[in-house]
Structure 1
Amino acid sequence: MPSDERPLVMISAGTYWYGPRMLDHHLAHELARYADVVYVEPGTSVVSRWRGSTAARAACGPEVESVEPGVQVLRPRVNPMMERRLGKPLALWLIRRSMRRAGRRLGRPVHALVLMSLNPLFGSVGERYRVFYAGDDLAAGAGLMGISDPGLAGRAVTLPRQADIVVAVSPPLVDSLRSAGVEALLIPNGVDVPHFSRTVKASPDPAAVELGPRRVGFAGHLGDRIDPDLIAAVADRDCTVLLVGPRQRGAGDWLEEVLRRPNVHWLGLRSYADLPSVLAAADVWMLPYDDSAFNRASFPLKLLEYLAAGRRVVATDLPAVRWLDTGLIDVAHGAAGFADAVTGTLGRPLTAAESADRIGFASSHGWTERVRPLAEQMGLST
């Protein structure tokens, strides 16, 4: 339950609470060490009940729900067609009203409002600190997420300028903000090491094990940021390829084509709690991302999650990989090179010492250490 003695922080999240566990969730969990957190979900309308499962669950859930110690979820109800040009102003007004009502119910001023989306919500609740948190280049990735909003690119510039504190997860995002005249605090994504390190003792997921030998996997959103040629090249080497995660809009054509291969299997969306057993089903996990502006600006959560699971990792050459600066990630170029790297790692048994090295490396990138500098900037203390 919230405590009247603790500061109040609101997070305008870009994802639903009961969807795949993303940066928004980890930030809310960590900030709850310092403050009571209201996690503001994207708005839902009556139409959301017939959309994807996470949106439908949010639309049918209570307006306010306590989900873990120190964290409440707020579910603003908005108008249909909320992302259309004519519907957006009303949707934003309804979200602001919902946030103000939540603040009044808790009976405390809002210490900080953290924007993790590009909705112009600063000033909605009289917050002391305005924090802009750039977890991705949302303007560059709008097409990947099925968002058609002509004002998105402009807000990606104006909102950071309105903030007291700006955070970016990758050096390219820091550089992009600096070029727009905004200084940002670099806080790369972290990892829940205690959770993922359970992989080394977990029983491998039986549904994955029975699919075949030489198992290689990818866990994450299945969308257009993936290079399908890399997956196809790996499949051509007689590997059993496991794809784990939700299918995004735009992934239909390439994903269906890849899944026609008898040795490529989609395991669907697995819960966060089940990921250790899923990761235990393969020794090698991939980051088969293409070289796009969105990917270059990102810091994929799965990089450190794979390592914290004690697994081997093969990835394309992205700034986030270079920033980690470790030989524990095999960096590959081109489809043939990527497949060579995967099959090369498959040819060697994964030892307990190797897994321990990877977990040890990941341990220096835990979420608690990542979020502490932001809490300090926001004037929060435990």
Structure 2
Amino acid sequence: MSRPLVVVSLEPWDEVRRRNQYLVGGLLDADVARTALFVEPPADPLYELRSGRRPRLASGLRTSQAYGGRLRLLEPVKSLPRAVGPLADRILHDQVRRAVDRLGWRDPILWVNDPRWWGLAARTGWDTVYDITDDWTRADRAPREHARLVAGDEALLALSARVVVCSTGLAETKRASRPVTLIPNAVDVARYRRPLPRPGDLPEGPVALYLGTLHEDRLDVGLLQRTAARVAGAGGTVVLVGPDALSARHGELLRATPGLLLLGARAWDAVPAYLQHAQALIVPHLVSPFTDSLDPIKAYEYLAVGRPVVATPVAGFRERAGRRGVTVVPATGFPGAVAGALGTSAEGAREQVPDWSQRVADYDALLRGLGSPGGDG
């Protein structure tokens, strides 16, 4: 019998599909005996109160309507700021442990994305899989937060039964500490290639579209503004589709930029239509040690729909430079390349891309290698 999974995620389980949702959902679909508790980022009412917003109560433990009730969701509450020390983390850990006890689970497998949760692995002794999707130790953070991320990463590398990385860049850096397993990202190929009608909220005229979470660690905000100006001059619009995690200052800058439209997040089943009806798909990313750690899911999604792609030379795209339909240029040439792509009727490459079903099978084999409940692990 499959051991229950306790997945501590960097993102909530919502209408936006990311690596965790694809993998966990696929594992539940593949094994009707498997159960999972998906731990979402905690609600933080104290922070919201200090920020002048109305505090939101945490959703707590609940059962998803999907997967026959075998998926449980937990949004814990962060009742103390992390600045007070280990007590703040222990309160979060205890909420997860109580949820597992309430579900009657014994000997689950802990799956951790967020290195700040390393203490849960240390306190429970559960077999742990550290799934690294972004190298947050290389992100630009305040000194205290950076030190916390580094400490958590080092602890999980030492504590975990398995370490999984999604990119060759992560494999190169993390295997210096211990063996790692490379399980890259993928795409639901059939769903992205099924023709869909044009979304009604796409603007008239040529569209250069970016898909993904809007985040300063990845997006080059200034480059986006310059690209929007060039595209607007060519009669087109730059459209951003994805959750907005930008700072208030950068969000306001982009919303005030002519020729740029922020549509926000769209449900996972609606996303392929936006990609299919864009004239060009763009990647205005910063080139940094952090972005070098990524295996962007958008690379697989873009290639699956076969539209022209213009990207800065970041991991996931620079190795595809020169392939039909993929243009990789530095920031200086990016706006002109995007505008040029809008003026052509060229199709992008419709090459073979890996499907999530392959990654689910790889993950299933890794989890089964940890042993059965009560076994040696």
TM over 0.5: yes
Q: Tell whether 2:13 aligns with 1:17.
A: yes
Question: Could you tell me how far 1:323 is from its partner in structure 2?
Answer: 5.1
1:38 touches 1:73 (CA, 8 Å); kept in 2?
yes
Aligned to 1:38: 37
Provide the C-alpha distance between the structure 2 equivalents of 1:186 and 1:78, rounded to a whole number of angstroms. 33
Change (3 A) 1:361 1:177: same
Aligned to 2:264: 268
**Secondary structure in 1 aligned to 2:121?**
coil
Provide the C-alpha distance between the structure 2 equivalents of 1:191 and 1:79, rounded to a whole number of angstroms. 37
Amino acid at match of 2:245: Q
Aligned to 1:246: 243
Amino acid at match of 2:43: T
Question: Could you tell me how far 1:165 is from its partner in structure 2?
Answer: 0.6
Partner residue of 1:209 out of 200, 203, 212:
203
Question: Could you tell me how far 1:147 is from its partner in structure 2?
Answer: 8.9
Aligned to 2:79: 79
**Secondary structure in 2 aligned to 1:151?**
helix
Aligned to 1:64: 62
> Counterparts of 1:38-187 in structure 2 under 5 Å?
38-47=37-46, 59-69=57-67, 70-81=70-81, 84-86=82-84, 88-118=85-115, 119-120=117-118, 121-127=120-126, 129-141=127-139, 143=141, 148=145, 150-179=147-176, 181-187=177-183
Amino acid at match of 2:360: V
Question: Could you tell me how far 1:220 is from its partner in structure 2?
Answer: 1.5
1:230 touches 1:334 (CA, 8 Å); kept in 2?
no
Aligned to 2:352: 361
Aligned to 2:375: none
Question: Could you tell me how far 1:113 is from its partner in structure 2?
Answer: 0.9
Amino acid at match of 1:266: L
**Secondary structure in 2 aligned to 1:133?**
strand
Q: Tell whether 2:222 aligns with 1:218.
A: no
Provide the C-alpha distance between the structure 1 equivalents of 2:43 and 2:23, rounded to a whole number of angstroms. 22
2:212 touches 2:243 (CA, 8 Å); kept in 1?
yes
Provide the C-alpha distance between the structure 1 equivalents of 2:340 and 2:25, rounded to a whole number of angstroms. 38
1:233 touches 1:336 (CA, 8 Å); kept in 2?
no
- TM-score for both structures, normalised by structure 1: 0.82
Question: Could you tell me how far 1:261 is from its partner in structure 2?
Answer: 3.7
Change (3 A) 1:45 1:257: closer
Provide the C-alpha distance between the structure 2 equivalents of 1:251 and 1:189, rounded to a whole number of angstroms. 30
Question: Could you tell me how far 1:322 is from its partner in structure 2?
Answer: 4.3
2:280 touches 2:341 (CA, 8 Å); kept in 1?
yes
> Counterparts of 1:329-348 in structure 2 under 5 Å?
330-348=326-344
Provide the C-alpha distance between the structure 2 equivalents of 1:322 and 1:188, rounded to a whole number of angstroms. 16
Question: Could you tell me how far 1:68 is from its partner in structure 2?
Answer: 1.9
- TM-score for both structures, normalised by structure 2: 0.83
Provide the C-alpha distance between the structure 2 equivalents of 1:72 and 1:328, rounded to a whole number of angstroms. 43
Provide the C-alpha distance between the structure 2 equivalents of 1:24 and 1:64, rounded to a whole number of angstroms. 18
**Secondary structure in 2 aligned to 1:320?**
coil
Deviations 1:7-60 (A, max 9, x none): 2111111111126322222222122224211111122244477799xx987x45
Change (3 A) 1:76 1:196: same
1:9 touches 1:110 (CA, 8 Å); kept in 2?
no
Q: Tell whether 2:275 aligns with 1:279.
A: yes
Aligned to 2:220: 227
**Secondary structure in 2 aligned to 1:38?**
strand
Amino acid at match of 1:103: V
2:35 touches 2:71 (CA, 8 Å); kept in 1?
yes
Aligned to 2:374: none
1:85 touches 1:149 (CA, 8 Å); kept in 2?
no
1:313 touches 1:329 (CA, 8 Å); kept in 2?
yes
Aligned to 1:294: 290
**Secondary structure in 2 aligned to 1:292?**
coil
Amino acid at match of 1:361: Q
Q: Which moved more, 1:365-374 or 1:256-265?
A: 256-265
Question: Could you tell me how far 1:163 is from its partner in structure 2?
Answer: 0.9
Change (3 A) 1:329 1:40: farther
Question: Could you tell me how far 1:124 is from its partner in structure 2?
Answer: 4.4
2:312 touches 2:331 (CA, 8 Å); kept in 1?
no
Q: Percent identity?
A: 26
- The root-mean-square deviation of aligned C-alpha atoms, in Å, is 3.0
Amino acid at match of 2:364: A
Amino acid at match of 1:376: A
Aligned to 1:312: 308
Question: Could you tell me how far 1:73 is from its partner in structure 2?
Answer: 0.9
**Secondary structure in 2 aligned to 1:31?**
helix
Deviations 1:47-87 (A, max 9, x none): 477799xx987x45342222421321122233142xx321x
1:9 touches 1:114 (CA, 8 Å); kept in 2?
yes
Question: Could you tell me how far 1:262 is from its partner in structure 2?
Answer: 2.7
Q: Tell whether 2:372 aligns with 1:376.
A: no
Amino acid at match of 1:79: S
